[in-house]
Amino acid sequence: MKKFLLILLLIISGNICLAAEPVKVEFNDGIYHITVTGDKIKKKIKFLSSESLITNSEAHKASDALLTINAGFFDPENGKSTSYIVTDNITSEDPHFNENLLKNGVLRKNLDKILNRTEFRILECTNSRDLKYAIVPHNTSADFSCIVKTSAQGGPLILPQLRLEEEYFVVKKDGVVVRESAAVLHKTARTIIGLKDDELHILIITDKHPMDLYEVQKYCKDLGLTRAMAFDGGSSTSFNYKDEIEVVSTEENSTGRSVKSFMQIMK
């Protein structure tokens, strides 16, 4: 009987040791690497937008979240989103309602590219109890049996290939760059999200190790990611984890930039 109890105790102890945390945070050389694993945690991930611009820390505390990062692009002049956001199956932010985006003649001519920038989705499918991740251009239709539960648009796509010109982050004339947005060709802080098998990977590239998107692409490849995209970066880059970690870009100020939308993992 004692031998049986000892074996049972060893099995239980082994299971405890082998049980992996669904959210793992590592820091190395100025880069936070967050790995999110398992199916249950997918139900706790959501994108949301704020009525007014607030800091990542404010959003994190208000929701009592486990983890919060900045998400889509926005217009600092009027505080409106320039990225699509879906929250609880409903489109909560639509760039069509940003008048600054529509009245700018140059942007209006390239609106089809801007509105089709890459987004990260969590899909809910009737033929499966599990939720699915996807990184695709916005106009990509979901599978017939699936709906977008929550999503945030950003861009550009990084893996499997960069789409700088296709998403109107870079404009070239005679092979020369004449327009660049979101500092995609310059070294800056970055908020990156990627996939490897069924794992979700988040990179918070701080201004202690700034990168351009070609360097980010190589870094993602070295990690073995198969798909990756950028969210808003530079001074918008921000990250809170529990009450333990708070990251803001020092390009802005000590409290961080106020932004429009967030990705959160709830407790």
For residue 12, is pLDDT > 70?
Answer: no
Q: What is the mean pLDDT of residues 221-247?
A: 97
Whether residue 59 lies inside any domain: the answer is yes
Q: Who wins on pLDDT, 256 or 191?
A: 191
| Residue 261, SS3 per DSSP | strand
Q: Note the pLDDT tens digit of each residue in 191-213.
A: 999 999 999 999 999 999 999 99
Query: Could you tell me where the DSSP H helices lie in 33-118?
Result: 56-63, 99-103, 105-109, 111-115
Q: For the whole model, what pTM was predicted?
A: 0.91
Whether residue 11 lies inside any domain: the answer is no
Q: Which domain holds residue 165?
A: 22-266
Q: Structural domain tally of the chain?
A: 1
Distance CA 73, CA 62 (A): 21
Whether residue 8 lies inside any domain: the answer is no
For residue 252, is pLDDT > 70?
Answer: no
According to DSSP, residue 40 is labeled G
At which residue do the structure tokens 């505080």 appear?
A: 79
Whether residue 6 lies inside any domain: the answer is no
- Of the candidate ranges 81-95, 108-122, 155-169, 250-264, the one whose mean pLDDT is the lowest: 250-264
Q: Note the pLDDT tens digit of each residue in 121-151.
A: 999 998 777 899 999 999 999 988 899 999 9
Q: What is the mean pLDDT of residues 97-118?
A: 96
Q: Note the pLDDT tens digit of each residue in 25-45.
A: 999 999 999 999 999 999 999
The per-residue pLDDT for 130 is 82
According to DSSP, residue 188 is labeled B
Give the CA count within 13 Å in the CB-facing half-sphere of 79. Answer: 8
Whether residue 5 lies inside any domain: the answer is no
Q: Kindly compute the dihedral angle of the four CA atoms of residues 207, 208, 210, 216, in this order, to the nearest 10 degrees.
A: -120
Whether residue 182 lies inside any domain: the answer is yes
Whether residue 1 lies inside any domain: the answer is no
The burial of 88, by beta-carbon neighbours within 10 Å (0-12 exposed, 13-18 middle, 19 or more buried), is given as exposed
Confidence of residue 255 (pLDDT cuts 50, 70, 90): confident
Distance CA 210, CA 213 (A): 10
Whether residue 4 lies inside any domain: the answer is no
Structure tokens at 3: 């031998």
CA distances from 56 to 62, 78, 79, 93, 181 (A): 10, 18, 15, 18, 22
Q: Note the pLDDT tens digit of each residue in 68-103.
A: 999 999 999 999 999 999 999 999 999 999 999 999
